[in-house]
Structure 1
Amino acid sequence: PHCMTMAQMAHGLTGVMVIRETEDPGFDADQVVNLRDFRLDDAGAFLPYYTARGAARGGTHGNVLTANWLQAPVYDHPAGGLVRLRVVNTDTTRIYKLHLSTAQSLIIAWDGHPVAVELPLPSAKEPLLVGPGQRVDFAVRMPAGEGQTAELLAELPGQPTRTMARLRSVGADLARDLRELKPLPANPVARPDLANGEVHDFVFGWTPEGGPPNDGYCGSMGYSFWSINRTPWAGDAAKGTGPLAVLERGKSYVLRLRNESPNLHPIHLHGLAFIPIRSNLRKLPPLVTDTMLLLKDEVAEIALVADNPGDWAFHCHVIEHQKTGLAGYIRVV
């Protein structure tokens, strides 16, 4: 939900919609894992879903981590079979550092789009960062032996590696091979003309000198900590709040995203798909996506074709940041 967002999501109102390919890629099974954490007391009752201190920093983490609302659930799939593991982070705050226990796997899709380049498998030393609102699909070859498992693992600061979910082999060995899978068909996304892309700058950071909380429609947290281009979002019903940028339909654009805070921000754009093209801190694979996880002090450029007219929300998917100012919209005319 995008009304009363923080309260409703913190209490569990999130889900996953799967849109399958017209032609079956060749998997034997499909498994969705929805990652969420919750703030609960010893009796299992909800604690306050955020703190002002957390909202002004990296966000308020929960103390109970779940996959599909369960702790370390186990899912049975054919031994030696090929499973499409769809991992979705619908948390309000937590940026997961993920990897699998098996090397018999591939990353095949990112944020709903097929991956056209080979990505390195994440590991405990170099886990995959998956921020709120982001999705990653793995192709996993199940172990051959009955009862053996392939595990989705998370690295947490100062804690042992945590198992988020287990895939358990059952039945006779199907002896499948990852090379048997058909490539996922590309989504119909227009490719930007980088040579002629008009540049727009966006600065993400704290609210200068504080600021009034938003107008309260669809929920106010009572604080204004964050801003885009040094202006906090005034609220969903505030009058006179214009777009962050106006893009002309059909034209190519480069959006330069500057993180002026020490916190990470998964910046999500509704209605349009884009391609990360460069960063001052790392090499960015050319993935089609709708969310850019900005690192501390990172300046990243993303490119897109403004091919979908309308007013499109542009916000941080750490919901505490979104609801305390780090939100706005882009207009395509």
Structure 2
Amino acid sequence: FLPSFTSRGAARAGTFGNVVTANWQENPVYDHPAGALLRLRVVNTDTTRIHKLYLTTTNAQIIAWDGHPVRDPIALPTALKPVLVGPGQRLDFALRMPESEGQKIDLMAKLPGQPKAMASLRAIGSNLNRNLNALSALPPNPVAHPDLSVAQTHEFVFGWSPDSMIANNGVCGSMGYTFWSINRTPWAGDAATGVGPLAQLELGKSYIFRLRNESPHAHPIHLHGLSFLPLRSNKRRLKSNWTDTTLLIRGETVDVALVADNPGDWAFHCHVIEHQKTGLAGYLRVS
């Protein structure tokens, strides 16, 4: 087996494996009635790899992103323009199964070398002849909308660590080195004491977070306990869909907006586990 973690990988984009699976199987095949409507939920549980995904059908649409119904339509990904799904991110497709028994739809991943079928949906039985356009839109989740006119801005810089401290993670253990930080402060560890929040938020108030990636590597930044709305990027046009994770590409700065409507201490970290465990983590306090 290849090593799960390496110091070289942790300091870069992460340590990649050479076997990819869906539901812990290599290219499983799932049978569904021909012509049926199906909801397909895709979750990237890889701790490192940012997947580039698409379906081998045009009879589908993305209906939810990171657990929230899509309000700003997302184009159906293709082999030429796959959708980027970082570690911990989720997306839901609504699709129509092929009409003829035995025909398949593949969930494809663009990997180094050549695309790979991650999983397949195979049509069986008589054609149910369902119509994808007959589906109603999903009802929106009850998320508070931020008031941008009064929102306070907090800036978070994701980059290298100026400190070589070793995190105190208690029974979870440490990787023995630190490479990353948020606002130049690496996470002291899950068992460390006296560690303050990266930001203190007031319950019910609106905020804008400016998320700046100063590194050459991508970071899927995940916030527990709260949902936010992407506003703008210095690199690309962002879809205005509620989420709890934003994938920061190389050198990107993204503004997101939220209402601090859930009291507590909420983890705020990179979902590439080697980045998180070597400093790229912290928490926010809502009180």
TM-score tier after normalising by the smaller chain length: over 0.9
Residue 40 of structure 2 corresponds to residue 53 of structure 1: no
For 1:155, the equivalent position in structure 2 comes to 110
For 1:319, the equivalent position in structure 2 comes to 273
Residue 71 of structure 2 corresponds to residue 122 of structure 1: no
For 1:107, the equivalent position in structure 2 comes to 62
For 1:82, the equivalent position in structure 2 comes to 37
User: Which of 1 and 2 has higher RCO (CA within 8 Å, sep 6+)?
Assistant: 2
Report sequence identity in percent. Answer: 66
| Counterpart selection for 1:134 from 89, 95, 104 | 89
Query: So what's the TM-score if we normalise by structure 1?
Result: 0.85
| Counterpart selection for 2:49 from 82, 91, 94 | 94
2-side partners of 1:117 and 1:133: how far apart?
21
1-side partners of 2:157 and 2:79: how far apart?
32
Q: Map residues 161-200 of structure 1 onto 2, 5 A cutoff.
A: 161-200=115-154
Task: Write the letter of the residue equivalent to 1:153.
Answer: M
CA contact (8 A) 2:169 2:192 kept: no
Residue 198 of structure 2 corresponds to residue 237 of structure 1: no
Give the superposition deviation at 1:216.
3.2
1:33-52 per-position Cα deviation (integer Å, ceiling 9, x unaligned):
xxxxxxxx3xxxxx431111
- Cα RMSD (Å): 0.8
Task: Write the letter of the residue equivalent to 2:35.
Answer: G
Task: Write the letter of the residue equivalent to 1:89.
Answer: N
Task: Write the letter of the residue equivalent to 1:286.
Answer: S
Residue 38 of structure 2 corresponds to residue 70 of structure 1: no
2-side partners of 1:80 and 1:58: how far apart?
41
Give the superposition deviation at 1:156.
1.2
Residue 255 of structure 2 corresponds to residue 291 of structure 1: no
2-side partners of 1:219 and 1:126: how far apart?
40
For 2:166, the equivalent position in structure 1 comes to 213
1-side partners of 2:137 and 2:168: how far apart?
48
Give the superposition deviation at 1:80.
0.6
1:273-329 per-position Cα deviation (integer Å, ceiling 9, x unaligned):
000010000111111000010000000000000000000000000000000000000
Query: So what's the TM-score if we normalise by structure 2?
Result: 0.98
Q: Which runs of 5+ in 2 are unaligned?
A: none
1-side partners of 2:169 and 2:69: how far apart?
39
1-side partners of 2:109 and 2:127: how far apart?
28
1:130-187 per-position Cα deviation (integer Å, ceiling 9, x unaligned):
0011000000111101000011000013x11110000000010011111111211111
Give the superposition deviation at 1:124.
1.3
For 1:268, the equivalent position in structure 2 comes to 222
2-side partners of 1:266 and 1:106: how far apart?
23
Deviation larger for 216-225 or 49-58: 216-225
2-side partners of 1:104 and 1:317: how far apart?
31
Task: Write the letter of the residue equivalent to 1:79.
Answer: A
2-side partners of 1:216 and 1:165: how far apart?
36
2:20 is paired with a residue whose SS is strand
Give the superposition deviation at 1:62.
1.1
1:195 is paired with a residue whose SS is coil
For 1:16, the equivalent position in structure 2 comes to none
